[in-house]
């Protein structure tokens, strides 16, 4: 039986980096979920190298639309997917970094919809397929210290931070509610990706500060793959685990 991995937001950045690595593993079915399968970045995924016994499925999933996750699962089931072993809830947005004093309601909503609601709808949609896994299934939410209560960096982040804090709450609760499921938050670090670099520029960080705070995509994804390969509910359930294997306080 193939190991089935679903990654949301898989057509760019961290999601694509993890997708590339899973495709190189033998006997895997890797599901690239993203909001527009017709976009060039999504179509290019079909050209990625794959292990001989591994297959790629691209499916539409817009994290800001509640119903999309359920429709995506129906589509997958119609293509013969009868279980899922690993879900990486990676899709999300960050486009503005205001203080709490200046944040606008519409910007809070625009972050909460994909970063929090999208995680909940994805979990509900894939739950029955995760239950059919023959191993300890994983529901991993892409985490960040920006959403932390105790270790958040001293930077203005009143949209992205709270939305990720809410999704972190879900990773703890899901892990406690489901004895059969391993749920945890995976911290990629502050990565040189489109999203990460845009944030650094918007916050006015100079190159020296970026070099101190940020890491490369390969370092992040290689580390997260090691964590995902070795993690267990007993070891990491409900925790924030960084790409280097360290755990952090919420």
List residues with catalytic annotation.
Answer: 160, 164
Q: How far apart are CA 179 and CA 144, in angstroms?
A: 25
- In angstroms, what is the C-alpha Rg of the chain? 17
Query: Any idea what the Cα angle at residue 114 is, between residues 98 and 134, rounded to 5°?
Result: 135
Token pair listed for 27? 């006997």
Could you give the C-alpha distances from 163 to 15, 92, 167, 218, in angstroms and in order?
A: 19, 10, 7, 26
Angle between helices 160-177 and 118-131 (to 10 degrees): 20
Hey, is 186 helix, strand or coil? strand
Hey, is 23 helix, strand or coil? helix
Beta bridge partners of 183: 139
């Amino acid at each position: 039986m193939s190991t089935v991995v679903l990654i949301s937001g898989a057509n760019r950045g961290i999601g694509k980096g993890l997708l590339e690595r899973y495709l190189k593993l033998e006997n895997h079915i890797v599901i690239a979920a993203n909001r527009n399968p017709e976009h060039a970045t999504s179509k290019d995924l079909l050209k990625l190298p794959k292990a001989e016994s591994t297959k790629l499925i691209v499916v539409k999933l817009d994290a800001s639309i509640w119903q999309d996750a359920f429709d995506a699962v129906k589509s997958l089931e119609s293509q013969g997917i009868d279980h899922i072993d690993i879900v990486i809830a990676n899709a999300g947005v960050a486009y503005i970094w205001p203080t709490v004093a200046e944040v606008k309601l519409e910007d809070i909503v625009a972050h909460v919809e994909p970063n929090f609601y999208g995680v909940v709808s994805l979990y509900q949609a894939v739950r029955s397929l995760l239950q059919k896994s023959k191993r300890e299934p994983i529901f991993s939410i892409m985490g960040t210290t920006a959403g932390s209560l105790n270790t958040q960096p001293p930077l203005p982040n009143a949209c992205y931070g709270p939305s990720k804090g809410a999704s972190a709450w879900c990773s703890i609760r899901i892990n406690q509610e489901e004895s059969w499921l391993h749920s945890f938050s995976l911290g990629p670090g502050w990565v040189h990706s489109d999203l990460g670099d845009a944030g650094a520029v918007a916050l006015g960080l100079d190159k020296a500060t970026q070099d101190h705070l940020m890491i490369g995509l390969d370092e992040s994804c290689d580390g997260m793959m090691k964590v995902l390969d070795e993690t267990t509910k007993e070891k990491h359930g409900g925790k924030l685990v960084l790409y280097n294997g360290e755990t952090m306080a919420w």
